[in-house]
A and B are shown apart, each in its own frame.
Chain A
Amino acid sequence: MVGDGGRRGDDEEKRKRKKKKTEEKDDDIDDDTGTGVHGEKKKSIILPSMIKNKDKRMAVHAKRKHEKKLEKRKRAKERELSVKKAVELGEEIPVKQVPKTIENTREVDDNIYKIDDEEFMEEKCHDEFSKVVENGHVPKILITTNRFNSTRGPAFISELLTIVPNAQYKKRGTYELKKIIEGAKKRDFTSIIVVHCRRREPDALLIIGLPFGPTAHFKLSSLVLRKDIKNHGNPSGHKPELILNNFTTTLGHRVGRLLQSIFPQDPEFRGRRVVTFHNQRDFIFFRHHRYKFDFKEENDPNDTKAKATKETSTQKPKVAVHLQECGPRFTLKLRSLQHGTFDTKGGEYEWVHKSEMDTSRRRFFL
């Protein structure tokens, strides 16, 4: 079904590649002539990998590594000193350099969600989630599975039940999903979560907002259950706090709101439970933690003098934060977002991932 456009594109690419090759060849020739002049200099550099004796090679490599490390430290110290100097002299502090990552060099898209835009504000008050998120309707969740479900599936569901307050698990039986949705609408459920297992391993998550949708289909990967996490905690029954991180585009915001609508909007801070959905490069990482604040009095051995001076003034207790993970841990990736409830035949999609969209590793949608 490939059209002429695709073929033409291929031809162009080939031509480009050919051009590049010829250019590279030219470069090579230049290099050859260059070695004629600087040949001796180039030969004098011996890379550790060129040494054949293993002991020697290791020694040289270790030495080089050590030197590099020292250099790096030196540079860091210099930077620190320059900052200190600037502070002392009251000059402008040199700009701290930020490393370039794929995420902060993402392709610029204009579909960024703006909170203060009037259209988005209107949408916020009237979209499918406003009943739960804005108007304080208590969410009621139905969790179910695909037809065949065993081993890690049920274990994952039992943990989901501890995370999501007011959630119920119902066996799937042989019901069609569309009928389940109809039934759930009648019983005032606000969302359905379907855990899909394949080869006894959960691999997809379907979150359906009720009664009007939308339906999000996620790929679920790298699932670590609670018992496999070292030093895990056991969550209490309090309503958790929710952190939604980094959902910037309109699509991302919508997905964020869908996830938000699963949880009650009045967290019990006494429980000190946090549920995090962190979006990074279109992968949504789920984490579940307990936290604790420890109020400690300062007793650093180095700062005895400082302590003496501080004692006279009002003393601020030092706060130490402790985090304890209480699983599970998993990663979601959006595959499609459907307008309305689950309907594969007659449904309309708001967003579908297609392979032709992956034109760049710096293009993100959430």
Chain B
Amino acid sequence: MPRTIASECPGCPSIRALTTDEIGRIKVIEARGKISIPKMVEAWGDPDYNRHIYLASFANRERDPVLAVARKNKEVELINPLTGDVIAVKNIGEDPLGALHLFTSRRSNSRSNTLLMCTEKGKASLQSIQVCDGISANTVFLKQWDVCNAGKVECSSVNGSENYALFAGKGIEVNFWDIEKNEKIWTAKSPKSSNLGIFTPTWFTSATFLCKDDHRKFVAGTNNQQVRLYDISSQRRPVITIEFRDKIRSIAEDTDGYKIYAGTSKGELAAFDMRTGKLLGSFIGKCSGSIRSIARHPEQPVLVSCGLDRYLRFWNTNTRELLSSVFLKQNLTNVVIDPHFSGEEIAVNTVEKTMLTGQLIDGNEVEIGGESSIKTKKTKSKFKTIKHTKEELEPEHKRRKKRVAEE
């Protein structure tokens, strides 16, 4: 008898994730309905190695969300994550970025987007991009400051209310900044050398705030296999230090305010409880390449991870089993989840549409969904014979618009 274990993938609840990769493409993966297998729906951009996307940030808003990506050819692009249209392109200088954050709040009007950027050399800036017609954009430098003088910024995080930011990297201890006042509040202190007198140089690879509401606690992953919890209110050295197997490559927080997910450079993904500093369990079985990015769905118990093994994987956070995986052909660099995805099943949608088309039969020509719309001209066709091909292909942005309008 062959020793086989059937690879079962139960499928995941409705979800919409966007990935960026080394070939400069943004891919949209969707799963619809209660439980289904996610599929790649769209891929935006031409494959081009020079346009390698290395950073991405997602402004998570119900109405007009924006995705910001940093590319290797020294450009930062703002992209509409529903249609894939480029809203604005901004040229950055010679230095590649070490951190990028697109603010969800902080908008003077609906056409401005505020970006926090930090180059690898530590030149941080707060910029507001005004989108004019077409792709031309006006940039206003709001603030500019130096995070550090030496070293290389590798990670940053901005807290839930977007007042504070932290930066860390290779040779840079964690810096805590107040964005409003533009001043450094706090710096971490490196841990003492070991009992053998060996001092490991600082090298932070990833960081995140532990809780959305609390800006005082945050977690950082280091190159020497440690996950550290810092608390600004108590001390400058880490409160809890956890040793894990390999170099920590990415970290994401759970919604409950104490759980942390960490991915390593050898493709190990694990959950930690930061109250006790204990390993809750690993997500085992399938990951084989370095995990570059993790994202947690804000409502459903789904975790998404991607990395150098070219797969996007969906995990159940409670049972830690693999729900599904999608092969995306390239080394993936970032993944973001669009939490406002409705995820209605196509069947439901078609019913809606048939109702609409039913109305259409009387009035010959009607526009649906505002400016960009499907014009239908039907005189002969009867209610029953309408084919649903168009409804199936109806893109997310139109559905979203409709939903918002209804509300």
Q: Please measure, in the bound complex, the distance between the C-alpha atom of A1 and the C-alpha atom of B280, giving whole angstroms.
A: 9
Q: Is residue B2 contacting chain A, with contact meaning CB distance below 8 A? A: yes
Instruction: Answer yes or no: A92 CB below 8 A from chain B CBs.
Output: no
Q: Is the CB–CB distance between A361 and B288 below 8 Å? A: no
Complex Cα distance, B329 from A325, in Å, reads: 38
Bound: A121/B46 CA distance, A: 12
CA distance A111 to B320 in the complex (A): 23
- The distance from the CB of B279 to the nearest CB of chain A, in whole angstroms, is 6
From A6, A119, A348, A361, residue with most partner B Cβ within 10 Å: A348
Interface residues of B, count at CB 8 A:
39
Cβ contact of A345, chosen from B223, B284, B290, B310, cutoff 8 A:
B223
Q: Are B23's CB and A107's CB within 8 A?
A: no
The answer to whether A1 and B282 touch across the interface, beta carbons within 8 angstroms, is yes
**B 1-19 binary contact with A (CB < 8 Å = 1; else 0):** 0111101000000000000
Binding site for B on A (CB under 8 A): 1, 3-6, 102, 107, 110-111, 117-123, 125-126, 250, 339, 345-354, 356-357, 359-362, 365
- 21 interchain pairs, CB-CB under 8 A: A5-B282, A5-B284, A102-B2, A107-B4, A111-B327, A119-B329, A122-B47, A126-B49, A250-B329, A339-B308, A347-B265, A348-B290, A350-B308, A350-B309, A351-B289, A351-B308, A356-B284, A356-B285, A359-B285, A360-B4, A361-B2
Which residue of B is nearest A336, CB measured?
Answer: B266
| Minimum CB distance partner of B24 in chain A | A122
Contact B288 A123 (CB under 8 A): no
Partner of B289, one of A3, A346, A349, A360: A349
Neighbour of B309 across the interface among A123, A345, A346, A351, CB < 8 A: A351
Find out whether the CB atom of B308 lies under 8 angstroms from the CB atom of A349. yes
A208, B373: Cα distance in complex, Å: 54
Q: Report B270-318 residues with CB < 8 Å from chain A CB.
A: 279-282, 284-286, 288-290, 308-311
Contacts of A5 in B (CB 8 A): 281-282, 284, 319-321
User: Which chain A residues border B280 with CB–CB below 8 Å?
Assistant: 3
Which of B23, B48, B281 is A4 in contact with, Cβ under 8 Å? B281
Q: Which 9 residue pairs of A and B lie closest in terms of their CB atoms, listed nearest first?
A: A3-B281, A122-B47, A126-B49, A348-B290, A360-B4, A348-B265, A110-B327, A350-B308, A359-B5
Min CB distance A63 to B, Å, is 32
Closest B-chain residue to A109, C-beta based? Answer: B327
Contact B290 A350 (CB under 8 A): yes
Q: List residues of chain A with CB within 8 A of the CB of B308.
A: 339, 348-351
A345-B281 contact given A123-B23, A339-B290, CB 8 Å threshold:
no
A119-B25, A119-B47 given as contacts; is B279 within 8 A of A3 (CB)?
yes
Complexed CA–CA distance, A332 and B23 (Å) = 31
Can you name the residue of chain A whose Cβ is closest to the Cβ of B49? A126
Residues of A within 8 A of B309 (CB): 350-351
- Interfacial chain B residues near A250, Cβ < 8 Å: 310, 329
A1 touching B279, Cβ below 8 Å: yes
If the complex has contacts A122-B48, A349-B265, A350-B289, are A111 and B247 also in contact, measured as CB distance less than 8 A?
Answer: no
CA gap between A120 and B328 in the complex, in Å: 11
Bound state CA distance, A123 and B48, in angstroms? 8
Residues on B with beta carbons closer than 8 Å to the beta carbon of A348 = 247, 249, 265, 289-290, 308
Residue B357, interface by CB 8 Å: no
Interface centre among B2, B25, B223, by most chain A C-beta atoms within 10 angstroms, is B2
Contact with A along B174-196 (1 / 0, CB 8 A): 00000000000000000000000
List of A residues within 8 angstroms of B223 by Cβ: 345-346
Q: Which residues of B contact A347 (CB under 8 A)?
A: 247, 265
A345 touches B247 (CB 8 A): yes
Give the docked Cα–Cα distance between A117 and B330 (Å).
12
A118: B residues at CB distance < 8 A: 47
- Does chain A have a CB within 8 A of B238? no
Tell yes or no: B221 within 8 A of A by CB. no
A193 to B256, CA, bound (A): 49
A123 to B52, CA, bound (A): 11
Task: Point out the residues of chain A lying under 8 angstroms from B3, CB to CB.
Answer: 360-361
Chain B residue at smallest Cβ distance from A354:
B288
> What residues of A have a CB within 8 angstroms of the CB of B81 in the complex?
none
- The smallest C-beta distance from A202 to any residue of chain B, in angstroms, reads 25
In the assembled complex, which residues on chain A have CB atoms less than 8 Å from the CB atom of B98?
none
Asked whether B267 is an interface residue with its Cβ less than 8 Å from the other chain, the reply is: yes
Closest residue of A by beta carbon distance from B246:
A349
Across-interface contacts of A354 in B (CB, < 8 A): 266-267, 288
A362→B290 contact, CB < 8 A: no
CA distance A350 to B287 in the complex (A): 10
Q: Verify A349–B329 contact, CB threshold 8 A.
A: no
B52 nearest in chain A by CB position: A126
- Contacts A118-B47, A348-B308, A352-B267 given; 20 further ones with Cβ under 8 A? A3-B279, A3-B280, A3-B282, A4-B281, A5-B320, A102-B2, A107-B4, A122-B23, A122-B47, A123-B49, A126-B49, A250-B310, A339-B290, A349-B289, A350-B331, A351-B309, A357-B286, A359-B5, A360-B3, A361-B4
A360: nearest chain-B partner, CB-CB: B4
A360 to B7, CA, bound (A): 9
Question: A357 touching B288 by the CB < 8 A rule?
Answer: yes
**Nearest chain A CB to B18 CB, angstrom units:** 17
**B23, A349: Cβ atoms under 8 Å?**
no
Q: In the complex, A124 Cα to B223 Cα: how many Å? A: 31
Beta-carbon contacts of B221-235 to A below 8 Å, as 1s and 0s?
001100000000000
